[in-house]
């Protein structure tokens, strides 16, 4: 529900994303442990496209062919179309065997990007925590403009929203710390998110927060599933530039998490097959109004820590989401809109899509510089051993008369041949 709000969609559609993509990944994926579903970074990236093409109430949509649709229906159509295009990109990359692209997404880049996304998530949720009405803002410096609008209205904060948010965050934080400290003694982690969701729903409903304190709640949930829809071609044209980085980030995050668990449990995963699996899953899910799916980090961790060893566990998780959607969704309607995910820096000022491009550009520059200007060295024998190391790093060394061992730790090609020659002559 929370990730659906990040994507600027009605909360119910988050349950669709927890169900439909998993059905196809079960057959096509190579990871035994990841749970397929919403990821906050992708939700925000989809939300940026949604709010750009379908702005807030009172502003015209930036796309034609939406006649007769409500704003929510327009936004769902945009999100599902972007997701379908994302799936096409992933499937095409898998078929063309370009899974190697994940090698260029280093841990440093992914960490910096997800940290930046966490800041965007934090700021995007301030309006819910404080109970304010803040329009969606996109593009460079959007985060700064959003903070400005929040602080201009800070005196209008809904105290009930704020107090409930703080209480939930503090309790969840404390219990998570206890889970981590006593994990050796606990058979399973305390499911504090579930417990607080139930308590928040009960308290909100019992004290009628919506009417008495003007708290915005999740509201009417979709009961059951809706008919499949075809993607909108005009959305394809308007969002292709954004759908491609969404496809890359979705795959990179899922592959990184899958790799961690494959190493831990000693099996291999196939990058190209994972691209195909996620491509088909996103196209299938988008047809049933779900939005961008990658790996659901919390569900994956719970699934693995509770003993799940195959995608059967993921299928069971998806079935539970189906039960909530079909039969129990109404119980979540009084839930206040509270989300908190936090960390720090990265592509904060320029936005997530441009920030990813900047990060990739910097990373490729480091590859170019390391290849074009490598650290060349003269190797010598370390006395009393059979090891040969850089002459500059050791004192007790032996160098055979008339012999020079020169090392260049990079391929020799047209761009660095002059550099190589100069260093060789200098040595």
What is the reported pLDDT for 321? 66
Q: Does a structural domain hold residue 76?
A: yes
| 120 in Cβ contact with 343 (< 8 Å) | no
178 with 277, same domain? yes
Give me the residue label for tokens 């520059």.
Answer: 365
What is the reported pLDDT for 362? 67
What is the reported pLDDT for 346? 42
285 with 415, same domain? no
User: Splitting the chain (427 residues) into consecutive groups of 10 residues, what average pLDDT does each group show?
Assistant: 79 80 86 80 83 74 71 87 92 84 64 67 75 67 80 80 82 84 79 78 74 65 71 86 85 79 81 88 88 76 67 71 58 44 40 61 68 78 83 80 83 78 84
384 with 344, same domain? no
Q: Does a structural domain hold residue 370?
A: no
What is the reported pLDDT for 177? 84
Q: Which of 33, 6, 31, 27 is nearest to 17 (CA)?
A: 6
What is the reported pLDDT for 343? 26
241 with 294, same domain? yes
Strands 294-295 and 388-390: unpaired
Number of structural domains the chain divides into: 2
389 with 268, same domain? no
The residue range of the domain holding 415 is 375-426
What is the reported pLDDT for 341? 29
292 with 193, same domain? yes
What is the reported pLDDT for 106? 64
311 with 394, same domain? no
Structure tokens at 45: 């990236």
Residue ending a domain, choose from 332, 364, 396: 364
Give me the residue label for tokens 């899958």.
Answer: 258
83 with 129, same domain? yes
| 285 in Cβ contact with 46 (< 8 Å) | no
Burial (CB < 10 A; 0-12, 13-18, 19+), residue 153, is middle
283 with 324, same domain? yes
Q: Does a structural domain hold residue 407?
A: yes
Q: Does a structural domain hold residue 384?
A: yes
What is the reported pLDDT for 283? 92
Residue ending a domain, choose from 321, 337, 364: 364
Residue 327 DSSP code: I
223 with 272, same domain? yes
């Amino acid at each position: 529900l929370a990730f659906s709000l990040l994507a600027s969609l009605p909360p119910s559609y988050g349950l669709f994303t927890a169900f439909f993509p998993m059905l196809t990944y079960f057959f096509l994926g190579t990871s035994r442990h990841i749970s397929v579903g919403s990821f906050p970074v992708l939700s925000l990236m989809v939300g940026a496209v949604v709010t750009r093409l379908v702005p807030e109430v009172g502003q015209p949509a930036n796309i034609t062919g939406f006649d007769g649709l409500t704003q929510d229906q327009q936004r769902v159509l945009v999100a599902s179309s972007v997701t379908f295009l994302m799936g096409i990109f992933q499937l095409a990359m898998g078929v063309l065997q370009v899974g190697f692209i994940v090698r260029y997404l280093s841990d440093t880049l992914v960490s910096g990007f997800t940290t930046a996304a966490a800041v965007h998530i934090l700021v995007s949720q301030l309006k819910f925590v404080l109970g304010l009405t803040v329009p969606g803002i996109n593009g460079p410096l959007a985060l700064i403009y959003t903070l400005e609008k929040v602080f201009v209205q800070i005196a209008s904060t809904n105290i009930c929203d704020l107090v409930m948010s703080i209480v939930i965050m503090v309790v969840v934080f404390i219990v998570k710390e206890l889970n981590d400290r006593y994990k050796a003694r606990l058979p399973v982690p305390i499911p504090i998110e579930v417990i607080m969701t139930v308590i928040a729903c009960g308290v909100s409903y019992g004290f009628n927060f919506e009417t008495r304190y003007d708290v915005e709640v999740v509201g009417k949930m979709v009961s059951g599933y809706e008919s499949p829809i075809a993607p909108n071609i005009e959305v394809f044209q308007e969002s292709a530039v954004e759908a491609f980085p969404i496809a890359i980030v979705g795959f990179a995050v899922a592959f990184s998490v899958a790799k961690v668990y494959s190493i831990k449990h000693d099996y291999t995963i196939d990058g190209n097959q994972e691209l195909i699996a996620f491509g088909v899953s996103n196209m299938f899910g988008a047809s049933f109004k779900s939005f961008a799916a990658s790996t659901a980090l919390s569900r994956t961790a719970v699934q693995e820590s509770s003993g799940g060893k195959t995608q059967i566990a993921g299928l069971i998780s998806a079935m539970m989401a189906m039960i909530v959607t079909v039969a129990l969704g109404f119980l979540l309607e009084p839930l206040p809109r509270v989300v908190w995910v936090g960390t720090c820096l990265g592509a904060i000022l320029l936005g997530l899509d441009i920030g990813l491009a900047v990060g990739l550009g910097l990373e490729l520059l480091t590859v170019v510089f390391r290849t074009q200007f490598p650290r060349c060295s003269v190797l010598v024998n370390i006395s009393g051993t059979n090891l040969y190391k850089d002459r500059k790093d050791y004192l007790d060394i032996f160098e055979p008369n008339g012999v020079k061992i020169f090392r260049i730790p990079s391929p020799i090609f047209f761009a660095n041949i002059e550099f190589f020659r100069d260093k060789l002559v200098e040595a």
